[in-house]
Structure 1
Amino acid sequence: MKLTTSFKGTLGFTTALVVLASAASAEAPALAFIITNAQNPAEISMREGFEKKGGELGAEVRILNASGSVEAMSNAIDDMIAQGVQGIATITMDSVVSMSWVDRANDANIPYVSVAVQVGDPATTPFKDVYPGLSALVGQDYIVSGQRMAEAVAPLLPEGKTAKIGIVEGQAGYALVAQLNQGFNEKLKELGADYQIVFSQPTDWTPAKGQEVCANGLIANPDIDVIFSHAEDMAIGCAQAINDAGSSAKLVTAAGGSKLGTPLIKTGDIDISMCEAWIRTGELAAEALFQAATDSATPKGRLIEYKPELITAENTDTVCPPQW
């Protein structure tokens, strides 16, 4: 994972300050981490990283599950504010609605960290423009990730014809869904690729839904050339659909590096993936929130950005041992 941390235009902020803050804190701060789906392997790993690092720093960690409901996440935030926690982090479900969550936390002088998803309308707000009042945004620029996936896909496209591409999207409502698609399409056009998107369907992040979307897409487009999945979980199901159909379609995916997906990368069933170190993502979120909770001088608007490595059968063992 390549990591860049910045705030208010200044580079070089390091997590070493967190250790100093820990030593200076007289009481263990209560840090709440609200996840969206306790069954999602990526979120399980982020939770693991957050809990582990929070405990190491001396925090009292509280984990809440919104179970896929924006309303439940909003209520959980209100509950944590009422209970007087010293920090709130969320795997943010709705980038637009979450602006009000940050504002409410700010009104209560509680630092707020968004994990993996930006706060603010992604249609009008660049990823690097961290929402005012947000203590830190921990994540990747998904437009850039989409562009990098397009660069990897371009050499796989057939010559002399219009390539057919299908997209297996993440869950509707997540900012990263539109951002990955935007970056992917922008870069392919910039590269001069001759292609057509023959389907682009949302999922619930599960292998079962990925298999369903791909199976239907392959029935409608048996000569499809490439399928781009927004996450490796769906790609696992999609790989099965491709095999069942006897298709030669190439399969590429973002959000990879899972224990179930890595064997498929090694066999070539998944041609290209993108290594997501989700445990480390949770750790970074805990570090950022702990610092803000224990040091009032911590600046707001920090951007803790990482760039996942691209992985194939040739480099997965060295670049991305199974992460989650």
Structure 2
Amino acid sequence: MSDKVEKTEREGRRNFLKGIALGSAALGGGLVTPDLMLGSNGQAQAATSDEMVKMAFVQIQPHTVSSAWSVGLEEVLSTQQNIDYKQLDGQNKVEVQVSLIDTLINEGTKVIFLQPIDSVAVGPSIKKARRRGVAVITLNIDASEEHAAHVEMNHYYGAMDIAKEMGKRMGGKGKVAILNAPPGIIIRDQRTNGFVDGMKKYYPDIQIAADQVADWSRKKAQDVLSNILTAQPDITGVYGVNDSMALGAVDVAKQKQILDKMVIFGNDGETAALESIERGELTGTQFTDVYQQGRFAAAAASVFVSGGVTAKDFKKQAKLLMPYTIATAENVASIQPAQRW
């Protein structure tokens, strides 16, 4: 896609969604107005026209998912004239992410969007933010310390639906290998448990014959699946807990010339996965519009600030599960270019 076309689509998406985003915020309690700020004591106070509300997104590390979240966040926040938004890189290091959060709190940031590297390790920083009235909104990976809100892909139930569709395409029988993420990440457990429970529920005759870690990596998935198939050549189904690992499985199946005998599903809905489905390679994936996920989080943040709501006001953490589509060759064309990330 050319830069000009991509820019036109991005601007079109932004203009089209301004009304939706602003309407969502209005439903929640009105828009951010240029004369509202939160004081250091966490209370609403008048602001002069040149004062800005600081918001920031602290990601784990650069990735297509977090980049798309940030686009969605910025599309909404840029419509507010007094919000200063930035995206920061946690460098996949807990200590870096904790340091960034603490710095943002000290700088007077009012909302922190967070993709935690370690759900427990960031707890003390989230607790500090709450004491200072800073609203923390987590994306996809929840934190053990309660905070304002959590917006996530529908990991568990989406994985159940992947199992249902995958089992149907396998004819209700056969062996499946899971290419998994490292232990200790909550979405790994949700996506694995949902898939396993889905197979038990819908297709109990399908055996999960292997479940091995491939580190979210396409290259690692190639190596892992090659070894699995050497030991168990009768495996005909592969579930990659993310699209990168599923695409690694596609690479192996093509190399071994067994793609027509394999049913391979991923999870996330990256553009590369959707294009692979359109080429007749990857069987399917769970697609989530992560631009929209960012927009929802930003709309909530705008409502918090405009309503003078701080982290001290929350009695219980809110949670939002995103809608999803199990994308296959039959319906992938319905996912519009502006939705793809």
TM-score range, shorter chain: 0.7 to 0.9
Match of 2:308 in 1: 296
Aligned to 1:34: 58
Correspondence for 1:115 among 133, 139, 142: 139
Instruction: Kindly state the Cα deviation for residue 158 of structure 1 after the two structures are TM-superposed.
Output: 4.4
Using the alignment, how far apart are the partners of 1:173 and 1:195 within structure 2? 27
Does 2:328 correspond to 1:312?
A: yes
The aligned counterpart of 2:234 is 223
Residue 4 (structure 1) aligns with: none
Residue 19 of structure 1: how far off its partner (Å):
7.8
Kindly state the Cα deviation for residue 18 of structure 1 after the two structures are TM-superposed: 5.9
Cα separation, partners in 2 of 1:78 and 1:107, compared to 1, 3 Å: same
Q: Which residue of 1 is the match for residue 78 of structure 2?
A: 55
Counterpart contact for 1:147–1:187, Cα < 8 Å: yes
SS in structure 1 at match of 2:229: helix
What CA distance in whole angstroms lies between the structure 2 residues aligned with 1:137 and 1:42? Answer: 16
Give per-residue Cα distances to partners, 1:223-274, cap 9 Å, x unaligned: 2111001122222222111111222221011111x33222210122111211
Larger Rg: 2
Alignment TM-score, normalising by the size of structure 1:
0.83
Question: Residue type matched to 2:340 in 1?
Answer: Q
The CA deviation at 1:111 is 0.6
8 Å CA contact 2:167–2:203 kept in 1: the answer is: no
Asked if 2 retains the 8 angstrom alpha-carbon contact of 1:94 and 1:175, the reply is no
Unaligned 5+ runs, structure 2: 1-22, 37-46
Structure 1 CA distance, aligned partners of 2:256 and 2:125? 46
SS in 2 for 1:223: coil
Alignment of 1:237-276 (within 5 A): 237-247=248-258, 248-256=261-269, 258-276=270-288
Q: Secondary structure at the match of 1:187?
A: helix
Q: Residue type matched to 1:203 in 2?
A: A
Q: What are the equivalent positions in structure 2 for 1:12-161 lying under 5 Å apart?
A: 14-17=24-27, 20-23=30-33, 25=36, 26=47, 27-38=51-62, 40-58=63-81, 59-120=83-144, 132=146, 134-158=147-171
CA contact (8 A) 2:243 2:285 kept: yes
1:181 aligns with 2:204: no
In 2: Cα distance, 1:19 partner to 1:241 partner: 52
Residue segments in structure 1 that go unaligned for 5+ positions in a row: 1-12, 121-130
The amino acid across from 2:283 in the alignment is D
Question: CA shift at 1:316, angstroms?
Answer: 0.8
Counterparts of 1:62 and 1:171, CA distance in 2: 29
Q: After superposition, give the CA deviation of every residue in 1:177-229 in whole Å (9 maximum; x if it has no partner).
A: 01111111112112251233232223343322332332232222222111001
Greater fraction of residues in helix: 2
Matched residues in 2 for 1:178 and 1:102: separation? 23
Distance 1:18 1:65 in 2: 30
Whether the aligned pair in 1 keeps the contact of 2:29 and 2:307 (CA below 8 Å) is no
Q: TM-score, normalised by structure 2?
A: 0.80
**1:69-91 C-alpha deviation (Å, 9 max, x unpaired):** 12221121111112221111111
Shift in CA distance, 158/151, structure 1 to aligned 2, threshold 3 Å: closer
Query: By how many angstroms is 1:149 displaced?
Result: 1.3
Distance 2:336 2:238 in 1: 22
Shift, 1:37, TM fit: 1.4
Residue 192 to residue 306, structure 1, CA distance change in 2 (3 Å): same
CA contact (8 A) 2:32 2:305 kept: no
Quote the Cα distance in structure 2 between the aligned partners of 1:215 and 1:19: 54
Q: Identity of aligned pairs, percent?
A: 21
Matches within 5 A, 1:274-289: 274-289=286-301
CA distance in structure 1 between the partners assigned to 2:206 and 2:30 by the alignment:
53
Rounded Cα–Cα distance in structure 2 between residues aligned with 1:107 and 1:62: 22
Structure 1 vs Structure 2 CA RMSD: 2.3
Secondary structure at the aligned position of 2:178 is classed as strand
**CA drift at 1:138:** 0.8
